[in-house]
Structures are given as structure tokens and as C-alpha cells.
Structure 1
Amino acid sequence: MQFVFPSPPTVVVPVAASNDFFPVHCIYCVGRNYSEHAKEMGGSGREAPFFFMKPADAVLPVPAGTVGELRYPSMTQDLHHEIELVVAIGKGGKDIAAADASQHIWGYAIGLDMTRRDLQAEAKKTGRPWCTGKGFEQSAPLGPIYPVEATGQLHQGAIGLQVNGAPRQRGNIDQLIWNVPETIEHLSQYFELQAGDLIFTGTPAGVAAVVPGDLMEATIDGLGELKLRVLSS
């Protein structure tokens, strides 16, 4: 096979405590999956799950023990953080029952769904897609992926984010409106999941803006921490 230009490298994320890497296929995101966040974004607090996507190369991998660097994106004055539990799929499938979902999970990670909130808000008002607000470069910072063999299935655990040492987001993953197995069940009705897919499962309340110079510190019980410095564009 001959390409007309060099094929882009595969997007990969480090595996915790290993020299291995997890190759990324697609990134799926669940909207408004914590009731208090749904309310702060104008929702009812309980609604059927809905999904949006980011391109695989939106991933900004941050190895353990390092501070990642996020360039402040163009075309926004309102860049928001959203900490999320990320589920890494290791076995594909379609129409997966919630009772069988655990068989498809390879591991878990801390992720940030960075959002150009002003662009997303404008898209909502005009009924247009969220791509410019959600799918830009480096919009999916990700810590190392922890294999499920090391963590077990995650059903509860504190999730939180600080900016410059001050708490912004706090919650527990047992507060998910649609838990991980239910999310996989719903998502796999719309898409045939593949090994390498990542599912951002939703964010707790407290989303807010960051500016260049800010240091974000995101934590989820059992998954270490993700540190990220915001740089000028």
C-alpha cells in the first residue's frame, strides 16, 4: 500500500505502571450525566443520555508524575474544565447489555473535557453542532490508563478538580445518572464499539473557566492525579 503522504501516527495513551500504550480509536462523551451539573447547564437533572464525539487526536496524554501543558485555544474567551472518569474499551460490540458491559472494559483513566463554553453556548442557541466548542486540538487531556485488573470495576470513588489549589469540582462517581454499564448499553445501541474507544462519562458540578498560568489538578480515587498547566496560545 502506498500513501500520497506519510500516514499520521496512531494516537496512544500510556498504560499506568507499564511500558505499554493504549491505541485510541474513537472518543465518545456523555452529556449532563451528573444531576447537579445538568442543572447548572439548564437541564432537569434527569434525562435520557446523549452523546457527542471528539476526534482521537484531541487527546493530550499526560504521563504519570508530570505536569502537562495545554495551549489556550483560539477563538474563545471562556475555556472551561470538566473532569471525567474515562472508560477504555478493550473489546468491541453492539447492543451490549448492561449486565455484560464489564466484559468490554479494559481500564479507566482521568480525563478532562476541555470546552470552549462561549462557542458551545452559541451553537446551542442556533441549534448547530458542538464541534467547535468540544472537538478542538488538545481538548481531551488524559492521564495514564489503569487496567481493570489493577482497579477492579469502578462503581464509586471521589472525583474532584482544583485550580491553583482551590477546589472547583467535587463529587463521587456513584452519582452518575447513567452508570458505566448503563452508558455502555445505551452507547452501543447507536454505535458498534471498538477496542480502543474511550468513553468520557460526564462531569460533576462546578465547571468554570481557566486562564493562562492556571494549574489544574484532577483526581479520582484509585487513578492517581492529572496535572495540567494552561499556557498562552
Structure 2
Amino acid sequence: MKNFVTAGRTIIAIGRNYRDHALELGNKVPTSPFFFLKPTSSYVTKPSPIEIPRGCTVHHEVELGVVIGQRGRDIDPAEADSYIAGYALALDLTARNVQEEVKKKGLPWTTAKGFDTFTPVGTFIPKHLVPNPHHVRLWCAVDDVVRQDGYTSDMIFQIPQLLAHVSSIMTLQPGDLLLTGTPKGVGAITPGQVITAGLSVDAKAGDLEQLHFPIVQRNGGFEYRPAK
């Protein structure tokens, strides 16, 4: 699934899967998994930049992505590993001011999460290079200042439970990407900045993967205007 960015049909993003992240945004800690979908048109890979839509306050969220390797429906958690082809380092970007407005109205988050370039991703990481996906360090820096630095061991719901839950609702397909949630420390990014993120499975060996994306203003397209 090296070509998951072009082959996958769906990006499934788990919400509030780290307790401290849920609390930093004033949200309740979930008692069961929930997810939202992002369009694959939101993928961006190097050397392309992240684009900030006009009027949007955009936040970074670094995440471990799980790349699906085979079709899965009603997956047994005990067999979940056999459905995983590998992993990817990803950022789930959120137009936070848009999200807050639609949340108040009880509307979907699609606009806030689905803009072009709102899912920056790295290269495919084969499964054997991540021996324990629940002991992975994730970090994110903006202009070399680290903002997020956490471990996947802090997930509320682990990957087998997430795959079982999602596949009980919708069939997973090869190349689909499951974003597993973000540690605390999310914050705004603006045009002119550079965002860097990393993933490591062994502190002594350094990062297994890094992302580097310049951030620019998007010209044209959507412009956020608060409701009156």
C-alpha cells in the first residue's frame, strides 16, 4: 500500500482519542470511539505547501495513521493486525473557528476538516518497522518550537478496538487511512510559518519519519465569514 494516497477511498479520523487533548478544547472525554470522514482530496505531500483558507483559524494535530491492507467488515479485534498494511505520519488540520460555529448549530464538521491540503502525510511505513504501534512517539513543531510531544500509549481506544468499531459501521478498503487521534498541544498555524512533525519507535534511533511543510495563504476559494 505504498500508494495509499492515490489508491485509498477514505480517510477515517478518530475524534478525541487522547484524554488531555479532549480536555484542552473543553470537550467531554468519550466513553466509546467516534469518527468523522475526510475527503482524499485533502491529502498533501511534499514538496507542496499547506494552504490556509481565507478567514480560517487553522490548528495542527499530529497523528499516527493506520494504512488498511485488505478489505475488512466486522473485524474481530483479535484479528485486527492482519488488516493493517502499515502506518503513516499525518497531520489532521482543522479550521477551528469554522468547527466551533458548526458544532454550536449541531452540523457536521466536514467543512472544518475537509479543505484541500488539510491532511498532510508522509510516506508509507511498512508494518514491520513499527513493532508496537501503541508505543510510538509523535511530535509537532511550528517554526522549530515544539508544541505537541506525546505517545500513542495515551490513546483512550487502541487500534484493534478502533478497527473493530469503524468496520462494524462501514467496510474498510485497501489503502484507506485511519487517523488515530492527537496528543495535547494543538495550536494555530499561519502563512509564512513552517510546520515539522516526527514519529519515532526507538528514542535511541531517532525519528523513523519526519514531515516538513511550508504554510501559505490560499488564493481564491472559500472565505469564512462568521454568521450574524
Q: Taking structure 2 as the reference length, what is the TM-score of the superposition?
A: 0.88
Unaligned 5+ segments in structure 2 are 202-207, 219-228
Choose 222-231 or 108-117, whichever is displaced more. Answer: 222-231
CA distance in 2, matches of 1:144, 1:224: 8
CA distance in 2, matches of 1:46, 1:231: 34
Indicate the SS of the match to 2:21.
Answer: helix
1:52 aligns with one of 36, 47, 67: 36
Q: Deviations over 1:52-104 (max 9, x none)?
A: 00111111123xxxx5411212341x111010000000111111011110000
* Residue in structure 1 matched with residue 212 of structure 2 by the alignment: 227
The RMSD of aligned alpha carbons is 1.4
Q: Deviations over 1:116-146 (max 9, x none)?
A: 0000000000101111101111111100011
Residue identity in the other structure for 1:74: R
Q: Deviations over 1:146-193 (max 9, x none)?
A: 111333341212111011111111110111101111110111111111
Q: Is the 8 A contact 1:163 1:214 kept in 2?
A: yes
Choose 222-231 or 67-76, whichever is displaced more. Answer: 67-76
Unaligned 5+ segments in structure 1 are 1-12, 16-20
* Residue in structure 1 matched with residue 156 of structure 2 by the alignment: 177
Aligned length: 210
Q: Is the 8 A contact 1:31 1:52 kept in 2?
A: yes
Indicate the SS of the match to 1:110.
Answer: strand
* Residue in structure 1 matched with residue 53 of structure 2 by the alignment: 73
Q: Is the 8 A contact 2:8 2:173 kept in 1?
A: no
Q: Taking structure 1 as the reference length, what is the TM-score of the superposition?
A: 0.86
In percent, how many aligned pairs have the same letter?
A: 37
Matches within 5 A, 1:17-28: 21-22=3-4, 23-28=7-12
Residue identity in the other structure for 1:72: I
Q: Is the 8 A contact 1:107 1:145 kept in 2?
A: yes
1:143 and 2:127 matched = no
CA distance in 2, matches of 1:131, 1:183: 20
Indicate the SS of the match to 1:57.
Answer: helix
Indicate the SS of the match to 2:71.
Answer: coil
